Amino acid sequence: MTGAATESHATAAIPAGTCYKVLMWEEGALSAEQLTAWQNARRELLARMRDAGIKGARGNLARLGEELRELSQQAVVAPLDACAPAGLSLTRVGALAAKLQREEGLLAYRLTPCSATVLVELTGEEGIDAMMARWASATPELQWCSTPLVEAVSAAEAAEWQESCRCTSADNADTGAGEEDATEFHHVTVLRSEAVEALQPAEGRVLVDATLGGGGHSELMLEKGATVWGIDQDPAARRAARKRLAPYADRLHIVAGNFRNAAGLLRAEGLETVDGILADIGISSPQVDQAARGFSFLAEGPLDMRMNPAAPRSAADIVNTAAESELADILWQYGEERASRAIARRIVQERAKAPITTTTQLADIIATVLPRKGKQHPATRSFQALRIAVNDELGALDALLETGLSLLKSGGRFAIITFHSLEDRAVKRYFDRVTRPEIDRPEWPAPRPNPEYAARLVTRKPIVASEAELAANPRARSAKLRVIEKL
């Protein structure tokens, strides 16, 4: 498997009836030559198996059966797993997942950007062909290849495969992130009613939650009757939200991807304009709390920090390969760390002895430069800086700001919650830029109409958490909500 994004899910109890594993793929995911070579080799093997069966040569039959499996693996499964993730395909994966969830007979599924493997149990009258036809008609927009790879599996094999889907496949994009259960996804939603009310949710209104997370904001939007398109780049968050929001599955669409591409992702789904967009920027509590995600200096874990586990560069990659000056710039710009140069120098000295691979190893190195003062751990600012760099958080926010308005209908609302001054500054500046009727150059002759004028400020001052919210959730203390409305 490559680093392509995948999703895998187990959806029901271990089967009792006849089970099939069905691999479907998008038209064009395999070339015509690949398909012909596979089908010819398969036809030949099937003919030899038929002969062996007629002759009662059981040993030979079993060996040929193994060869058939191996052929499918090499000619179909491996090339599909290596299929490059394209934005469009990722959204199709999300759409297919949402639809599959509703189909009867599904035990588990595993999705890559251009293929879907489903484990199904046949019960009742329906045969496998009828079931496949039913699914094909349930997902007409996906244009699945008409020749799926169908394999009967024993109950034991089915149970084993289902178990492997309950976690995620170990070598794919969901690295380590599939082991949590949605009930373990504890994220206390910040400014929940303030942010959601700002988007005026109601039946018939279409809202985008650009940072789905555990689904806290989306849930309230859905409760109020809106249709929600939830985007998240973290497969663990998508899984948790899908589970929590299952009662609203008919009005919820989960899209895998980065909100920097929100316009493209949604247009690929046929959505041109929406009534509101919310972004609750930053990381979720489970991302920090799970040591395996590598965000926290308080727990030993791999130095990772990727919200999207399939992203190309982890924190360890940056720490072990970036030039000293680049490291210092990251720590200074994103962490406002005054000792940035000294820390960068020490990191470079230490990595020359041995690679820096864990969170606590890096935290200890930073602590040798900066002695602890007060309550804050000396690594706090450096970890924040690295996280922002790994996930290009400010770049993604800028891209969302630049494209968000184009997605909104007239009167549509754009609401953003930020958690630190770098983000809030970017939002404030952009909102200011697009809500001024005139260019702010008093030295120019009037009139000075602002070509970017496209919205009005809904919040002149940012909305912050109430005393009651702060008492219940201290993490809300730095949250700021700003809202504009498209003219």
| Helix, strand, coil share (%) of the chain residues, nearest 5 | 50, 15, 35
Buried b (16+ CB within 10 A) or exposed e, 177-190: bbebebeebebebb
Q: Least distance to ligand SAM from the beta carbon of 8, Å?
A: 18
Q: Which is nearer to ligand SAM, 176 or 213 (CB)?
A: 213
Q: Which is nearer to ligand SAM, 31 or 193 (CB)?
A: 193
Q: Least distance to ligand SAM from the beta carbon of 481, Å?
A: 12
Which two three-digit tokens encode residue 459? Answer: 């919040």
Q: Taking the CA atoms of 138, 108, 6 and 97 in sequence, report the sign of the dihedral they define.
A: positive
Q: Least distance to ligand SAM from the beta carbon of 429, Å?
A: 19
Q: Which is nearer to ligand SAM, 114 or 415 (CB)?
A: 415
Which two three-digit tokens encode residue 447? Answer: 């009139």
CB-based contacts of 465, cutoff 8 Å, min separation 6: 190, 191, 473, 476, 477, 479
Q: What is the distance between the alpha carbons of residues 185 and 190, in angstroms, rounded to a whole number?
A: 15
Q: Which is nearer to ligand SAM, 106 or 283 (CB)?
A: 283
Q: Least distance to ligand SAM from the beta carbon of 396, Å?
A: 4
Q: Which is nearer to ligand SAM, 280 or 350 (CB)?
A: 280
Q: Which is nearer to ligand SAM, 217 or 413 (CB)?
A: 217
Strand 408-418: give its sheet, edge to edge: 252-256, 227-232, 206-209, 274-280, 408-418, 480-486, 455-457
Least Cα distance to 120 among 225, 46, 200, 15 occurs for 15
Q: Which is nearer to ligand SAM, 196 or 365 (CB)?
A: 196
Q: Least distance to ligand SAM from the beta carbon of 111, Å?
A: 18
Q: Least distance to ligand SAM from the beta carbon of 382, Å?
A: 20
Q: What is the distance between the alpha carbons of residues 343 and 349, in angstroms, rounded to a whole number?
A: 10
Query: Which residues here bind ligand SAM, judged by CB under 6 A?
Result: 187, 189, 211, 213-217, 231-234, 237, 258-260, 280, 282-284, 307, 396
Q: Least distance to ligand SAM from the beta carbon of 26, Å?
A: 23
Rg (CA), the chain: 26
Point out which residues pair with 106 in neighbouring strands. 120
Torsion of CA 33, 36, 38, 42, to 10 degrees: -170
